[in-house]
Amino acid sequence: MNRREVQRIEGGRRVKGFSKERPPVISIITAVFNSHTTIEQTIRSVITQNYPHREYIVIDGGSTDGTVDILREFDNSIDYWVSEADNGVYDALNKGIDLAQGEWIYFLGSDDRLVNERVLEDVFSKSYESKMIYGNVLLGDSGLWYDGKFSKHKLLRYNICQQAIFYHRDILRSLGKFEVRYTLLADWVLNMRIFSSHSAMPIFINNIIAYYATSGLSSIDKDDTFNKERSTLVRNIFGIHYYLLFKFLLAKDKLKECCWKNLKKLFVCC
């Protein structure tokens, strides 16, 4: 069956007429497609959170592998879920943003999980003036974490892991949602726009937020559109100074790679 021909199915507490006693502080959104082997652990990491002022939304792209059966099993724990055709992960996340009622929005991958049941309580035990809060993630079960405090300079080369970030809904309204033409790195574009916005003021908190699955789609595939437009994006968002710095860093990396290849050849010859 073609992904775009899947019939719409929905469920969750909203569909049954349940409503929160007060608006949720945070909306957790998961986009999923054919992830029946991992989605249950993702769901459990959310619904076991100590923090009560939350809602959980799952957007499925029309899975045919049993994922929808698992969503049905958790129908009374998920606030809203839907299974229907979509145009990729960022289209699904944008649907989730439109459905979200929380002040803050967090995106959790279908093969990722929150690091423990106190994560949301630890983060939202205080208020923030910022429109973006971010921490660290653990890379799978390796024990390694990624990747500390960011700056414009650091964003030229690396992106903040999406599973480490809490976005205020106001910033998603003012700067716009994810651009779906970027298949895997639309969040990098959004993060650059936020760091260049004087009203956003991203704040780093030294908390580990989630386990990030290193076998996920973004770690094994490429976003050709982003890679093609990356230099233009840097120039348009950060300005000429960072554009020139970015070009210098690219040239430096290519030179280092070339020297390393030549060095390896020299050792082989010897």
So what's the pLDDT on residue 2?
47
Ranges under pLDDT 50 in the chain: 1-2, 266, 270
**3-state SS class at 10:** strand
* Six token digits for residue 56: 């959980």
Residues 6 or more apart whose Cβ sits within 8 Å of residue 68: 9, 60, 83
Domains for the chain: give ranges and CATH numbers: 3-238 (3.90.550.10)
pTM of the predicted protein model = 0.90
CA 201/CA 170 separation, integer angstroms: 13
- Four-residue CA torsion sign, 119, 204, 140, 103: positive
So what's the pLDDT on residue 23?
72
Of 155, 159, 97, 166, residue with least CA distance to 127: 166
Beta bridge partners, 58, equal: 30, 81
Judge residue 130's burial from the number of C-beta atoms within 10 Å of its C-beta, 0-12 exposed, 13-18 middle, 19 or more buried.
Answer: middle
Longest dimension (CA), the chain: 75
So what's the pLDDT on residue 269?
53
C-alpha distances in Å from residue 60, one per residue of 141, 156, 172, 230: 26, 32, 21, 29
- For 107, what's the count of Cα atoms within 13 Å in the CB-facing half-sphere? 26
Q: At what angle do helices 224-238 and 186-195 cross, to 10 degrees?
A: 10
* Pairing of the two strands 80-83 and 9-11: antiparallel
- pLDDT tens per residue, range 113-144: 999 999 999 999 988 989 999 999 999 888 89
CA 37/CA 259 separation, integer angstroms: 43
So what's the pLDDT on residue 16?
81
Which phi and psi angles does 125 have, rounded to 5°? -80, -5
Residues 6 or more apart whose Cβ sits within 8 Å of residue 191: 155, 159, 160, 165
* Six token digits for residue 67: 């994922």
So what's the pLDDT on residue 21?
67
- pLDDT tens per residue, range 74-114: 999 999 999 999 999 999 999 999 999 999 999 999 999 99
Q: How many residues comprise the chain?
A: 270
